[in-house]
A and B are shown apart, each in its own frame.
Chain A
Amino acid sequence: MSYKRFYVILFLASGLFCLLPLVLDLYRLHVVIVSLFYVMMAASWNLIAGYTGQVSFAHAAFAGIGAYTSGILTVKAGMTSWLGVATGTLTAGVTGLGVGFLCLRMGGIYLSLTTLGFSEILRIIITNEYDITRGTMGLQIPPMIAPYSKAVHFFILLAGTLLTLIVVYKIIHSNMGLNFRAVQNDERAARSLGVNVIRVRVLAFAVSSALAGLAGAIYGHYLMLITPEIPSLDLQFFVLSMAVIGGLGSFAGPIIGSFALTILSEYIRAYGEYHVLVFGLVALAMARFAPQGIMGLARQFMPASGVRQ
């Protein structure tokens, strides 16, 4: 897809989305807002998992860093929400850079295990330092713009989503994106051709972490309440499922996966604990019939339509 075509599609889709607050009731608008948060999360996780092959389990943790940094600064230091979100994003990015620098030399299963450990450590700190974070009681924080309006937060999250998608698209279609692919396909070959593998990985990890921090920070202000559920493994696996079911390594996959799974989870929520079972069955069905996700299915059914990786 050319840049021009990408921006035209993005512009048209955004235009259609801008009409949603006029036609949707508050509940449906909430579902769309949650979906947009997950699009930001899944698309940015796809940048490292789908394009460099690094499976990190710390993505939700970085969203938590963004959310808690912004929340604590606005509540305890009186900072504005906007500045809080910017600081949260930066903190997540810098932490991502640090974590990436320390553990990305490992790669493979070791990277996954290290990020899993980092994620759990962060959750335990947040839960136990309740004097600052209020732990599982939840920290109530102000909205992005007061007085609170769902529609206003919808537009802010939409802007965040567009920013995330543009950044991801630009990266994967740049020289850096080619390097990402090269590292994913054959690390040794990439290294022999002069690609600085570690630098590529760390860079992807830091950008992805910053985008997760941005998503977490804005989402926290939308909910006006942050809890250790944001940096939890539950949320991490939900994001992972969205990217995998949508189609890992494709640009549109995580977007489709995020909307599909958020809407599905709303419908099956009525079945109480059984909704987890239904969710698992859907994931199993997808793994059996469409291992490459919804985008893989689309490629299979519409080979001539130009649906590509």
Chain B
Amino acid sequence: MKNPKVKLLFLLFTSAVILAVGPAWANTVKVGVVGPRTGGAAATGQAFDEGIKLAINYINNKGGVLGKKLEVVFEDTAGAPDKAASGFERLVTRDKVVMVVGESHSSAALAEIEVANRMKVPFIVAEAWADPITAKNYEYVFRAGPSNSGVVNETIAKWVAHAGFKKAYIVAENSDWGLGIAELTEKALIALGVKYEKLTTERKSQDHYTELTKIKEFAPEVILAYVYGDGLHFFVAQAGELKVSPRAVILDGAGPPSLWPDFWKNVGEYGNLETFVSSMHEKVELTPLAAEFRTMYEKEFGKSPTDYKSRSIFDAILIAADAVKRAGCTDADSLVKALKKTELEGTRGIIKFGTTPGGPEYHQWMPPMLIIQWQDRNQVVIYPPKAATGTLKR
């Protein structure tokens, strides 16, 4: 092989073969995780990575599952349905995972549940809220996280009534989550007799000035912003710039974008008095495991946990490991049976899936949700009243 070109081709070929056969000798139980590591919600992927690391350590330090170590294989879906469907399939066919957990984009999850159902692989959705995900009542699909109807009917609508808002504006991104939650909110506002207007915005838009001018004309008291990812930061900053807020209170209807590390950098002081939905508060722990999670998190990462999605994925992996242990095998149907009987302490409460078919509650566990307001960069719980640590400031 004196010719350098032949050498180069040989090297490329050898590398490919080594990469292909590398993981073959591993003796582990594999669980797949799907989520966005790239794209506008890449911060969720980081939160997922943190939760995964803690969950693996937590489970393997306690002996693993079925006498083997638990291994997690991550597939980046970038929040795109096509990447999500092919990534899910790759986890099943290439990596031979026994179960898949995760996802935080409804459109991606809706593509994934079709693959899960077709390939008969249990799938626990962590943070994709669109109702049809569980309303389709697929036998292999579970959700250990909020649903749009749960968040709207149990938290957002009740908060709007509690705060006494009379005029609201719904801003929804054109995704399954955004359009779905906006439709449910509309129904709830009509039932409450709240005057409202609604507009839809492009999911990846960074320019909301036109929409905000329309909103300003309507002069709402509250803006229910269903925009996920960096787009929410642009929306909050531009609303502050046009003085739409704080005259109108902005509610981030998803939550995590208001907790991402670059939130304050992107929105500056316009972030003050912004409100958001969350399943955790920086200083309140709902279960003993949540306190343990905080200790582990601080030890591992040298900072406090902020994005609640690290807890969501931690819980989802714990549920998966618990189901494998109770099933005593990795057979898909046995795992589904075990998942149906789940009763497990997570970081957000006792997890138990709904078993009544017909609606989105089937195979669904809804964690308690809070409404929190940033007040001088401190998180203040303003709803529900029994958990409130302060009152709404305007």
- Spell out A's residues near B (CB within 8 Å): 25-27, 30, 127-128, 130, 135-138, 140, 148, 223-227, 229-230, 263-264, 267-268, 270, 272-273, 282, 285, 289-290, 297, 301
Identify A136's interface contact among B6, B90, B92, B203, CB under 8 A: B203
B184 contacts A by Cβ under 8 Å: no
Interface pair B16/A264, CB less than 8 Å apart: yes
Q: What's the nearest-Cβ distance from chain B to residue A194, in Å? A: 43
Interface pair B85/A270, CB less than 8 Å apart: no
Q: What's the nearest-Cβ distance from chain A to residue B352, in Å? A: 30
Interface pair A223/B20, CB less than 8 Å apart: no
Contact count A vs B, C-beta below 8 Å: 77
Interface pair A267/B20, CB less than 8 Å apart: yes
Complex Cα–Cα for A264 and B13 (A) = 10
13 contacting pairs across A/B (C-beta < 8 A): A27-B90, A128-B202, A136-B81, A137-B107, A138-B82, A140-B110, A140-B114, A225-B82, A227-B81, A263-B16, A267-B16, A268-B19, A273-B37
Q: Which of chain B's residues have a CB closer than 8 A to the CB of A137?
A: 81, 107, 110, 174-176
Interface pair B82/A223, CB less than 8 Å apart: yes
Q: What's the nearest-Cβ distance from chain B to residue A137, in Å? A: 4
Interface pair B174/A30, CB less than 8 Å apart: no
Interface pair B37/A272, CB less than 8 Å apart: yes
Complex Cα–Cα for A289 and B83 (A) = 33
Given A136-B107, A264-B16, CB of A227 within 8 Å of CB of B82: yes
Q: Which of chain A's residues have a CB closer than 8 A to the CB of B19?
A: 267-268, 270
Complex Cα–Cα for A224 and B112 (A) = 11
- Spell out B's residues near A (CB within 8 Å): 5-6, 8-9, 12, 16, 19-20, 37-38, 76, 80-83, 85-86, 89-90, 92-94, 107, 110-111, 114, 118, 174-176, 202-204
In this complex, which of A27, A229, A297 has the most chain B Cβ atoms within 10 angstroms of its Cβ?
A: A27
Q: Which of chain B's residues have a CB closer than 8 A to the CB of A135?
A: 174, 203
Interface pair A297/B5, CB less than 8 Å apart: yes
Complex Cα–Cα for A135 and B201 (A) = 12
Q: Which of chain B's residues have a CB closer than 8 A to the CB of A297?
A: 5, 9
Q: What's the nearest-Cβ distance from chain B to residue A291, in Å? A: 12
Q: Which of chain A's residues have a CB closer than 8 A to the CB of B110?
A: 137-138, 140
Closest residue on chain A to residue B20 by CB atoms: A267
Closest residue on chain B to residue A260 by CB atoms: B12
Complex Cα–Cα for A301 and B83 (A) = 39
Q: What's the nearest-Cβ distance from chain B to residue A302, in Å? A: 12
Q: Which of chain A's residues have a CB closer than 8 A to the CB of B92?
A: 26
Interface pair B85/A225, CB less than 8 Å apart: yes
Complex Cα–Cα for A52 and B20 (A) = 39
Q: Which of chain B's residues have a CB closer than 8 A to the CB of A140?
A: 110-111, 114
Q: Which of chain A's residues have a CB closer than 8 A to the CB of B37?
A: 272-273
Interface pair B20/A229, CB less than 8 Å apart: no
Interface pair A273/B38, CB less than 8 Å apart: yes
Interface pair A130/B93, CB less than 8 Å apart: no
Complex Cα–Cα for A227 and B77 (A) = 14
Closest residue on chain A to residue B200 by CB atoms: A130
Q: What's the nearest-Cβ distance from chain B to residue A306, in Å? A: 20
Interface pair B82/A148, CB less than 8 Å apart: no
Complex Cα–Cα for A136 and B203 (A) = 8
Given A136-B80, A223-B85, CB of A148 within 8 Å of CB of B118: yes
Q: Which of chain A's residues have a CB closer than 8 A to the CB of B107?
A: 136-138
Interface pair A225/B81, CB less than 8 Å apart: yes
Identify B82's interface contact among A26, A229, A264, CB under 8 A: A229
Q: Which of chain A's residues have a CB closer than 8 A to the CB of B38?
A: 272-273
Closest residue on chain A to residue B42 by CB atoms: A273
Given A137-B107, A267-B16, CB of A229 within 8 Å of CB of B80: yes
Given A137-B107, A264-B16, A272-B37, CB of A26 within 8 Å of CB of B93: yes
Q: What's the nearest-Cβ distance from chain B to residue A21, in Å? A: 13
Q: Which of chain B's residues have a CB closer than 8 A to the CB of A267?
A: 16, 19-20
Given A25-B93, A225-B82, A229-B80, CB of A130 within 8 Å of CB of B111: no
Complex Cα–Cα for A227 and B6 (A) = 40
Identify A130's interface contact among B12, B90, B174, CB under 8 A: B174
Complex Cα–Cα for A193 and B176 (A) = 59
Closest residue on chain A to residue B12 by CB atoms: A282
Complex Cα–Cα for A263 and B15 (A) = 13
Known: A27-B90, A137-B175. 6 other contacts (CB 8 A): A135-B174, A136-B107, A137-B176, A225-B85, A270-B19, A289-B8
Complex Cα–Cα for A127 and B269 (A) = 33
Complex Cα–Cα for A285 and B203 (A) = 37
Given A27-B90, A27-B94, A264-B16, CB of A138 within 8 Å of CB of B118: no
Q: Which of chain B's residues have a CB closer than 8 A to the CB of A290?
A: 5
Q: What's the nearest-Cβ distance from chain A to residue B169, in Å? A: 21
Q: What's the nearest-Cβ distance from chain A to residue B64, in Å? A: 23
Complex Cα–Cα for A224 and B5 (A) = 41
Q: What's the nearest-Cβ distance from chain A to residue B129, in Å? A: 14
